[in-house]
Amino acid sequence: MSLVDVGRKAPALTLKDQNEEKHSLKDYLGHPVVLYFYPKDDTSGCTAQACQFRDDQPKFRRTRAVVLGVSPDSEASHAKFVNKHDLNFTLLSDPKNAKGDPKVCEKYGVWQEKSMYGRKYMGVVRTTYLIDSKGKVVRRWDKVKVPGHAEEVLQAVKDLKKA
């Protein structure tokens, strides 16, 4: 599937978090949602990104925005990642199906062919969606570069609140 275009309704999702509690996107109607997809817990880029969102959580909370991280890692992996880095937001597990594909990552178009050292494989392309309080995608960041990303997303949330 392709990436979800700005202006479209965000696809429904229900996934378990690091505490094995279910979260649905509809649970957050009335709040802006930062839905960020990342490849793997506890890798250098993913850790840096998560720690930026952690450090900016008080600012996101002041805007009433909810930050949700999504990767194909298990709930147990997420729990270790959260504990190791004192993460203060929810990580959702999007387990791979029988074909080896995570269904929500597919719905959002972030499960794509990647290449490393000439080897092709399927994986999560780092992507962030900003979803408004009514469930519509209002901004999308593709192939995210980690440095400064959380600040840029926070500014977009603030701009959304002003609109």
Known catalytic residues are: 46
- Mapping DSSP to helix (H, G, I), strand (E, B) and coil, where does residue 35 land? strand
* Amino acid making up residue 127: T
- Mapping DSSP to helix (H, G, I), strand (E, B) and coil, where does residue 10 land? coil
Residue in this structure with the two tokens 């965000």, named with its chain if needed: 10
- Report the distance separating Cα 14 and Cα 22, nearest Å: 6
- Torsion, Cα 14 16 21 26, to 10 degrees, reads -20
Please report the beta strands in the chain, taking only residues with DSSP state E, as ranges in sequence order: 14-17, 22-24, 33-37, 66-71, 90-93, 111-116, 119-124, 127-131, 137-141
Q: Which of 43, 39, 17 is nearest to 28 (CA)?
A: 17
